[in-house]
């Protein structure tokens, strides 16, 4: 992989984080009308969980890449525990706070929406 490829992927990852932010904000606003404020909070919690899951996966992959400095142990601890944290968060949303699980589950699809937006962006801009 050449330097221009690294720069391309770096810009794409930066845009993915931005697209996830926009999709999370727009989705939260849409959930206010769809499920009320509780649905919006549940969607935002799902979107935040998906965002951090993506961030931790990205950090773990970058830590394993050639030429990377030695990885900090917390990256791999978070990577191993991410499903447990998602489960605890889902339990809290549904059982403790009494919110509907559907908006939270839809919020988990925010990274997928960001990837689709990035694909359309790259196709439109020819990058």
Produce one character per residue of 96-116: b if its CB has 16 or more CB atoms within 10 Å, e if not: eeebbeebbebbbebbebbee
Distance CA 9, CA 23 (A): 20
pLDDT in tens, 9-58: 889 999 999 999 999 999 999 999 988 888 899 899 899 989 988 998 88
Whether the model pTM is above 0.85: no
Parse the chain into domains and list their residue ranges: 3-125
3-state secondary structure of 67: coil
pLDDT in tens, 66-113: 777 776 677 677 777 877 887 887 788 778 877 788 888 899 999 999
Distance CA 127, CA 119 (A): 10
CB 29 within 8 A of CB 103: no
């Amino acid at each position: 992989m050449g330097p221009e490829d690294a720069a391309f992927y770096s810009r794409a990852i930066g845009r993915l984080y931005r697209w996830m932010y926009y999709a999370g904000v727009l989705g939260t606003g849409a959930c206010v009308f769809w499920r009320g404020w509780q649905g919006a909070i549940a969607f935002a919690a799902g979107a935040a969980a998906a965002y951090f899951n993506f961030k931790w996966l990205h950090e773990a992959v970058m830590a394993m890449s050639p030429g990377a400095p030695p990885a900090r142990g917390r990256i791999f601890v978070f990577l191993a525990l991410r499903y447990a944290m998602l489960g605890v968060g889902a339990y809290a949303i549904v059982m403790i706070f009494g919110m509907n699980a559907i908006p939270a589950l839809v919020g988990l699809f925010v990274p997928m929406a960001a990837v689709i937006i990035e694909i359309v962006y790259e196709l439109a801009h020819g990058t």
